[in-house]
Amino acid sequence: MNMNPGVIMKLMQAKNQFSANHPKFTTFLGHVFQSGIEEGTIIEISVQKPGVEKITSNIKVQQSDLDLFHTIMELGRQ
């Protein structure tokens, strides 16, 4: 699968901007993914909008999720 070089550049610019805006979060993600995520890992996310009660959800990672992560990472290396 070939990706348009313009799309790749746009994605890289967006990634770089996100990293500049949220350096602690990108460092956190780097640590998590560097140490590896395995089947059975629980990933939890919370969202709290101003003036609204926080909501939280989680997933228990399955092999199909790991396969998807791997495919996305491979696309990023092309």
pTM for the predicted model, two decimal places: 0.63
2-30 pLDDT, tens digit per residue, is: 668 888 888 889 989 999 999 999 899 88
Whether residues 78 and 50 fall in one domain: yes
Whether residues 19 and 52 fall in one domain: no
Residues 19, 26 contacting (CB under 8 angstroms): yes
61-75 pLDDT, tens digit per residue, is: 999 998 988 887 777
Whether residues 21 and 53 fall in one domain: no
Which range marks the domain in which residue 12 is found? 1-36
When divided into structural domains, the chain yields a total of 2
Rounded distance between C-alpha atoms, residue 71 and residue 77, angstroms:
10
Whether residues 44 and 74 fall in one domain: yes
